[in-house]
Amino acid sequence: MRSETAPAIRLEDYQPPVYRIEKVHLTVKLDPAETEVVATLSVARQADVQAGTPLVLDGDELSLRELKLNGEVLPDDGYTVSPGKLEIHAPPSKSFDLKITTQINPEANTKLMGLYRSSGTYCTQCEAEGFRRITYFLDRPDVLAIYTTRVEAPKTDCPVLLANGNLMEKGDIDGTDRHYALWHDPHPKPAYLFALVAGNLAQVPNRFTTASDKKVDLNIYVEHGNEGLCSWAMDSLKRSMKWDEDVFGREYDLDVFNIVAVSDFNMGAMENKGLNIFNDKYVLADPETATDQDYANIEAVIAHEYFHNWTGNRITCRDWFQLCLKEGLTVFRDQEFTSDMRSRPVKRITDVRLLKTHQFPEDAGPLAHPVRPRVYHEINNFYTATVYEKGAEVVRMLKTVLGDEGFHRGLDLYFDRHDGEATTIEAFLTCFEDTNGTDLSQFALWYEQAGTPVVSVASAYDADRQTYSLSLSQEIPPVPGQRSSKPAVIPLRFGLLGPDGKDMHATSASGINISGDVLLMEKSRHEITFSGVSSQPVLSLLRAFSAPVRIDQKFATADLQFLAARDNDPFNRWQAVQSLAMQELVRLTGTIRHGELGAPADGVVSVFGAVLNDQNLDPALKALALTLPSEADIAQEIGKNVDPDAILAARKQLRQAIARQFHGALRAAALEFAPRGDYSPDAETAGKRALSNRAAYYYAVSNTEDAAQFTWDRFSSADNMTDRLAGLMLLVHDHMPGETAALDLYLSRHEKTSLAMDKWFMVQATAPGDGTLATIKSLFSHPLYDATNPNRVRALLQSFATGNATQFARPDGAGFELVAESVLEIDKRNPQVASRLLTSFRSWRALDANRCALAESTLMKISSCEDLSRDSRDIIDRTLQ
Ligand code: PHE
Ligand code: ZN
C-alpha cells in the first residue's frame, strides 16, 4: 500500500481553539526507555463555545497510563484514546483540571522530535509539533499557557536538570538515587517553546546586566571537556542582548538564560523560552576546529535565537501559516545585528548570495510557495529559504518603503500592542499602517505571491533634450498552482552615474514615485523620464539589493566594467563583477557544449585583475568580488536544458585564465593578506584571510612551477582551521599531488573532534570527478560515519546532493540513485532529515533531457515506495507535480 498523503491544512479554514489551556504543570520522571510524564492542565472552555463540546487533544506515539478529570479517574466511556488523539467526549464544566499520565521512550526516539537522547543527554525539540510526543495537548501556537515543570532523574546520570523559566526549587527525592528540579516560566507560551534538558553537562556561567539593571545569569551547557569552546558563543550572546536593547529597545525578561549544545539536532537551533537548545556546531569553536565562517555563523545563530525572545516568544504566531511573522522578522534582525557587528556591505552580499542560491531556485521550481503559504500537508517542510530569507527581505523592503523612523514606529507599536499574543501578518502590517498613515494592502502581496518577480529595464538618453528615459516592467514567471499575479510594490534603490563615476542629480523625474534614491514601482509598467541630465548616465539599479527580484537588463560590457570599477554602492560594484563573469560563463558553457574549446574574453579576465589590484578595496569585499558565480548560480541563469559538466568546465576555464594571467599578483596577495600572529575571528582579520585564500584558490591552477607545493604548504603549515580547510579543499577538489596524504593528515589530527570531521566528509563528498561516488560509498562504512547523526548525514549526503552538481546529476543516473537510496533508508528513522535531503531534486526539470529523464525515474521509484513518511511523501508529491 502506498503511504498516504496527509490531509491538506488550509489557512482559510483557521478556527480559534474551542478550549484554552491556561496552566500546565508537568512532572517528567526521566528514564531511558520508560519516561513517565504527568501533565496537569487547567482547561477552560472559550466564551462562545457550547457546553459539552468535546475536547480533542493531539498526541503522537504516546501511551496513556492514567486520565483524571478534577481528581477523578475518567470512566472508559468518557473518552477515546489512540496514540494520535485523546478526545474527552463531554467535559462537565466551563473549566476543569485534566491530569494525564503518559509514558514515552526517549531512547527509541530517532525522529529527534519530542523528548530524545543525544549522547546520553535528555533533550526536547517541540517546534513545530513535537510537544504532542511528550503529552496529549492542544498542540497549536495559539494556545498560550503558563508552565511549571518538575524534572526528575538519577543524580549521577543527570546532575543537570533544566526547563523553561526560572528555577524555583531543587532537591533530592528521599529514599532514592534521584533528584528533582522545579522550574517556572511566568510568561504564557505556546507548547512549541517548551523545553527540558537533563544530563551530565558542564556549565559555563556568565552574567549580563540589562539596561534596567536586572541581573541575568547566563549559562552555556556543553559536554564535559568542551568548556573551553564556548567563549565566542557567550560573547556573541552578550553582544546580542546589548544590541537588542540599543537598537530595538528590547530587554530580557527572566532571571536566567540557558543555552544547551547537543550533537544530534535536526535544525540549527531552537529558541525555547529561557532555554535555547543548539546544534553544537553553532556553539562550539576554537581556532583549531572552527573556520571564520563557523565563527560568523555562531554569532548569527546565537543572536537569532536570542532575538526570538521578543519576535517569536513574547509575540508568537497564531498558526503555522504565520511562520514568517517570527522567522522573517528575526532573520532580518539577526542580519542587522551582523551588519552592525561586522561590515554592512559584506553582510549584504553574503545574504544575497544565499538568497540567490537557495531561495531563488526554490521559488522557480516545484516547491515554490508564498512567504506565507496558504496550504500545507506537513509543516516541517515549510522551514524554508522562502519563509526565512525571503521573509527577511520583505521586512527589509518595509523598512525601505517606510524609512527608518517609520519602520521603528510601527515595530514599537507591534511590540506594545501584541505583547503576550499569538498573532498574524495582517496584525503586524496594521501596526505600520497605523503609525505611518499608509495603506499596505498592495505591499502585503509579498506575503501572498510565490515566484521571483523579474524587472525588465530599457533606457534611452536624449542628448539634445538632456533627458534620460527608463522603462521598467515587472512580471512573475508562472508558478505551480498560482493562476495569475498582481504587480508588487518594488522599491528600487538607484543611481545615475556620470562619466566621473559620481551620482548625477536629475532636476526632475516623472512617471514614478521617487523618494530619496528609491524608485517605487507599483504598477506593472512605468515609463520614467529624468530631465536635466547633462550627459549619458550609466544606470546603477537595485542598489544594496533593495528588493528580492531579478533584473533583466541588457548591459554593454563597457558599462558593467565601469560599474565594477566606479559604482559607489559596494553591493552593485560586486554585482557588476558578478554579472560580467556570469555573462561570460554562460557564453563559455554554450561553447563547450557545442564541443568547441572556447576561451574567456580578455575584457572579463582583466576586470578580475583590476579588482585584485585595487588598493582601496576592503579585503573582505575584494575576496567576494573575486569569487566566481557558483555552478548552481550558473545553472540557474541558464535555466533550462542544463548540462552541469559544461558549467564546471566553463568555470574552470575562467578560473584558469585569471590564474595564469595574474599569477604573480595572486601569489603575492595570498602571502601578503595571510594574517600573522594569534588567530582572531574578527571580521577584519577574517576578511584578510578570505582574500588570502581566494588568491590561493586561483594560484593553485596557475600552471606555475610552485603552485602544487605552494598549495600543499598552505594546508600543512596552517595554524587555524580556516586556512587548513581552504588548503584541503584545493588539494582534494583539484586533485592535486598530496590529495590523499592531506586527507589522512587531517583525519589523524581531527578524528576526535566530531565537528571537524564533518568537514572531512564534506570535502570528499563535494569533490568533482568520477571517483567521488565510490568514495562516498566507502565512507558509509567508515568507523566515523554515523547515519543517525544529522550533521554527519548532511556533511556527506546533503553537501553531495547540493554542492556537487556534476556527480549528483551524473549522466548515468548513479548520483541520483545514491541519494534516493539514502533518503529511503534515513526516512525510516528521521523523516525530517530525509525529506530535506529529498529537496535537492527540486531543480530536476531544468536539466538536459537525459538527466531529466533519469531524475524522473528515480523520483518515481521513491514515490512508489510504501511507508514513506508524510514529510517525504509531501516533498516527493510536490516535486513530481
Ligand atoms: N525556530 C528555529 C529557528 O529558526 C528553527 C527550528 C525549527 C528548529 C523547527 C527546530 C525545529 O530559530
Ligand atoms: Zn528562527
* Under 8 Å between Cβ of 874 and 5: yes
pLDDT band at 270 (very low <50, low <70, confident <90, very high): very high
For atom 7 of ligand 1, the residue with the nearest CA is: 127
Cα atoms found within 13 Å of the Cα of residue 274, Cβ hemisphere only: 22
Report the share of the chain in percent with pLDDT over 70: 100
3 pLDDT above the threshold of 90: no
If you measure from the C-alpha of residue 266 to the centroid of ligand 1, how many angstroms do you get, rounded to a whole number? 9
Per-residue pLDDT at 506: 85
The pLDDT value recorded for residue 1 is 42
Per residue in 674-703, pLDDT (tens digit) is 999 999 999 999 999 999 999 999 999 999
Which among 271, 324, 382, 384 is the best mutation to test ligand 1's pocket, defined by most ligand atoms within 8 Å of the CB? Answer: 271
| SS3 of residue 124 by DSSP | strand
Does residue 61 carry a pLDDT above 90?
yes
- Report the percent of the chain where pLDDT is more than 90: 98
Q: What is the pLDDT of residues 226-241, one digit of tens each?
A: 999 999 999 999 999 9
Residue from 127, 129, 139 to probe ligand 1 pocket by mutation (most atoms less than 8 Å from CB): 127
| Cα 62 from Cα 68, distance rounded (Å) | 17
Span 76-85, pLDDT tens digits: 999 999 999 9
Give the residue among 242, 299, 241, 266 at the shortest CA–CA distance from 681: 299
Q: Is 746:776 a contact under the CB 8 Å cutoff? A: no
Q: Is the peptide bond before 674 cis (omega within 30 degrees of 0)?
A: no
Tell me the average pLDDT across 826-847. 98
Q: How far apart are CA 753 and CA 465, in angstroms?
A: 69
Ligand 2 center–CA 326 separation, angstroms: 7
Residue-level pLDDT at 92: 93
Q: Residue 564 CA to chain centroid, in angstroms? A: 29
> What's the one-letter identity of residue 281?
K
State phi, psi for 670 to the nearest 5 degrees: -60, -35
CA dihedral 165, 166, 169, 171 (to 10 degrees): 70
341 in contact with ligand 1, CB cutoff 6 A: no
DSSP structural state of residue 32: S
Write down the pLDDT at residue 597.
Answer: 86
Asked whether the beta carbons of 716 and 709 are under 8 A apart, the reply is: no
Q: What is the pLDDT of residue 2?
A: 54
pTM over 0.95: yes
- Ligand closest to 114 (CA) is 1
C-beta separation of 829 from 790 below 8 A: no
Alpha carbon of 270 to ligand 1 centroid (Å) = 5
Q: Indicate which residue's Cα is closest to atom 9 of ligand 1.
A: 127
What cell numbers appear for 786 in the block? 554515523
Q: Which atom of ligand 1 is nearest to the CA of 380?
A: 9
Is pLDDT at 451 greater than 90 in this prediction? yes
In the prediction, which pLDDT does 6 show?
Answer: 84
How crowded is residue 184: how many other Cβ atoms within 10 Å of its Cβ? Answer: 17
pLDDT, averaged across the chain:
98
Tens digits of residue pLDDT in 545-599: 999 999 999 999 999 999 999 999 999 999 999 999 999 999 999 999 999 988 9
Atom 11 of ligand 1, residue of closest alpha carbon: 127
Calpha distance 577→584 (Å, rounded): 11
Closest-approaching ligand to the CA atom of 332:
2
Give the pLDDT score at 598.
Answer: 85
Per-residue pLDDT tens over the stretch 382-404: 999 999 999 999 999 999 999 99
Once rounded to an integer, what is the mean pLDDT over residues 603-627? 97
- The strand pair at 55-58 and 85-88 is best described as antiparallel
Instruction: Assess whether 61 carries a catalytic annotation.
Output: no
Q: Is the CB of 326 under 6 A from ligand 1?
A: no
Count Cβ neighbours within 10 Å for each residue of 151-175 and write b for 16 or more, e otherwise: bbbeeebbebbbbbbebeeeeeeee
Nearest CA-CA partner of 458 in 392, 366, 526: 526
Return the C-alpha cell found at 572. Answer: 552593485
- Grid cell in block for residue 739: 590529495
Task: List CB contacts of 717: < 8 A, sequence separation 6 or more.
Answer: none
Strand partners, 216: 208
Cis bond upstream, residue 128 (ω within 30): yes
Written as one string, the DSSP assignment of 312-369 is: TTTBEESSGGGHHHHHHHHHHHHHHHHHHHS-HHHHHHHHHHHIIIIIHHHHHSTT--
Residues 6 or more apart whose Cβ sits within 8 Å of residue 624: 346, 349, 350, 574, 690
Per-residue pLDDT, 507 = 87
**Residue 445 CB neighbour total at 10 angstroms:** 16
Alpha carbon distance 108, 32 (integer Å): 9
Mean pLDDT of 300-315: 99
> Is the C-beta atom of 270 inside 6 A of ligand 1?
yes
Does ligand 1 lie within 6 Å of residue 305's CB atom?
yes
**Is residue 654 within 8 Å of residue 585, measured between CB atoms?**
yes
